[in-house]
């Protein structure tokens, strides 16, 4: 974005783009405005001068403006947000005093929570992002949508947690209460995240592609075309997780046998990864000595690995072939053949590669 076309009344005072002087336009009225950046060009160290009228307008919102300075990516985007915040303030002053009270109350609540926890606020004060850093240094964000009935009405909360997050709220509550409830929930999940991060760092995770804090399942590569999917209980992460093997019968039958023979060896004082390797009597391939491509074999029909969220799950049972296919690709392929047979939700056909008989179960949608 070009400064001169975007903000025409602000004139550059030097060649380096560090000093601008002139006016900014708030609802068709011009206010004197000057901004100087340090030689580092860091917006957060900018110095702003403005006329008395503008100072009065932004008086209540100095902290929010400082916050925007830290977050905006460019000077133009900062000045546009500055204009928007000030315009909102002018509108509020000209119209309804209840809206003004709402804004002031919210600013007071942010103040009492602590500005350092505020990551983001939109110019019309309806969306806030608050952050919490846990002992391990993982940063957790709670996003709040705040209605004009706040604080009588609870904010809508959006979090990335493996647990359901319902806030307890009454008209006397404020941001501190919701933040505290968020921190309690984050702390409850620490052990869950620690155990999963051990798996994430030391194995190849085929699914999810990028595990989020709320993801309770992991699909761990065991060999080419074979994997183990585990689903971990966030409140009891040390117990044996739900396990599902994916791959050809030849490859996974011994793993199933080993698991049932060794199930008594599960030891809750050990990590998930250690326990799983002990039960299966395998060492999962690790990023230190293998590459992910060895395990992410492409679909034999569409030649890609990931299709939306689907990865090739159906594997030909002939060990010499062991070609993998996306379930949906294989169903489409088999259905198009003249000798396709279907019984209830199972389709019978032959492997497109080696002709060996294959069955595919259709997952009910
Ligand atoms: Zn495919
Ligand atoms: Zn085959």
pLDDT of residue 365: 47
Q: Which residues pair with 159 in a beta bridge?
A: 142
Say how many Å lie between the CA of residue 353 and the centre of ligand 2: 5
In angstroms, rounded to a whole number, what is the distance separating the alpha carbons of residues 336 and 333?
A: 5
Q: 198-294 — its CATH code?
A: 3.10.110.20
Say how many Å lie between the CA of residue 247 and the centre of ligand 2: 13
**Ligand at shortest distance from the CA of 305:** 1
Over residues 254-273, the pLDDT tens digits come to 999 999 999 999 999 999 99
pLDDT of residue 228: 94
**Ligand at shortest distance from the CA of 297:** 1
In CATH, 297-365 is 3.40.50.300: no
Q: Which residue has the tokens 């199930």?
A: 263
In which region does residue 3 sit, left (phi positive, over 0), alpha (psi from -120 to 50) or beta (all else)? Answer: alpha
pLDDT of residue 274: 96
Is the peptide bond prior to 151 cis by the omega test (within 30 degrees of 0)? yes
Q: Which residues pair with 350 in a beta bridge?
A: 357
**Ligand at shortest distance from the CA of 300:** 1
Say how many Å lie between the CA of residue 299 and the centre of ligand 1: 5
Q: Name the segment(s) of the chain with CATH classification 3.10.110.10.
A: 109-188
Q: Considering just the CA atoms, what is the radius of gyration of the chain in Å? A: 29
Say how many Å lie between the CA of residue 309 and the centre of ligand 1: 12
Q: Name the segment(s) of the chain with CATH classification 3.10.110.20.
A: 198-294
Say how many Å lie between the CA of residue 334 and the centre of ligand 2: 13
What DSSP state is assigned to residue 298?
P
- Regions of the chain where pLDDT drops below 70: 1-4, 95-100, 364-365
Q: Which residues pair with 10 in a beta bridge?
A: 22
What top-level class would CATH report for the domain 109-188? alpha beta
pLDDT of residue 364: 59
pLDDT of residue 72: 84
Do 280 and 255 meet the contact criterion of CB atoms below 8 Å apart? yes
In angstroms, rounded to a whole number, what is the distance separating the alpha carbons of residues 51 and 236?
A: 60
The CA-CA-CA angle for residues 98, 101, 105, to 5°, reads: 145
**Ligand at shortest distance from the CA of 326:** 1
The CA-CA-CA angle for residues 295, 299, 301, to 5°, reads: 165
Q: Which residue has the tokens 């030891």?
A: 267
Say how many Å lie between the CA of residue 352 and the centre of ligand 2: 7
């Amino acid at each position: 974005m070009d400064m001169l076309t975007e903000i025409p009344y602000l004139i550059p005072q030097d060649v380096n783009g560090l000093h601008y002087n002139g006016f900014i336009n708030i609802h068709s009225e011009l206010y004197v405005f000057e901004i100087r950046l340090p030689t580092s060009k860091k917006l957060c160290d900018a110095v702003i001068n403005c006329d008395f009228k503008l100072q009065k307008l932004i008086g209540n919102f100095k902290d929010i403006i400082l916050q925007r300075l830290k977050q905006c990516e460019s000077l133009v985007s900062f000045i546009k947000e500055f204009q928007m915040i000030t315009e909102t303030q002018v509108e509020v002053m000209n119209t309804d005093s209840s809206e003004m009270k709402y804004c002031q109350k919210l600013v007071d609540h942010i103040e009492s929570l602590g500005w350092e926890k505020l990551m983001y606020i939109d110019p019309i004060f309806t969306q806030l992002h608050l952050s919490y850093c846990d002992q391990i240094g993982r940063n957790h964000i709670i996003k709040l949508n705040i209605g004009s009935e706040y604080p009588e009405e609870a904010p809508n909360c959006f979090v990335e947690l493996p647990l359901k997050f319902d806030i307890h709220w009454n008209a006397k509550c404020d941001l501190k209460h919701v933040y505290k409830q968020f921190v309690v929930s984050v702390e409850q999940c620490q052990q869950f995240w620690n155990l999963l991060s051990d798996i994430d760092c030391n194995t190849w995770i085929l699914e999810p592609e990028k595990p989020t804090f709320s993801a309770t399942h992991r699909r761990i590569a065991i060999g080419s075309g074979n994997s183990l999917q585990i689903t971990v209980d966030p409140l009891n992460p040390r117990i044996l997780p739900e396990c599902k093997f994916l791959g050809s019968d030849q490859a996974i039958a011994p793993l199933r046998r080993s698991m049932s023979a060794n199930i008594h060896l599960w030891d809750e004082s050990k990590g998930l990864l250690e326990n799983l390797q002990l039960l299966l009597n395998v060492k999962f391939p690790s990023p230190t000595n293998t590459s992910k491509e060895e395990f992410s074999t492409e679909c034999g029909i569409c030649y890609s690995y990931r299709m939306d969220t689907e990865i090739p799950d159906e594997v030909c049972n002939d060990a010499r072939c062991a070609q993998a296919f996306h379930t949906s690709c294989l169903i489409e392929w088999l259905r198009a053949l003249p000798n396709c047979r279907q019984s209830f939700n199972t389709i019978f056909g032959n492997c497109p590669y080696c002709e060996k008989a294959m069955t595919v179960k259709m997952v009910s949608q």
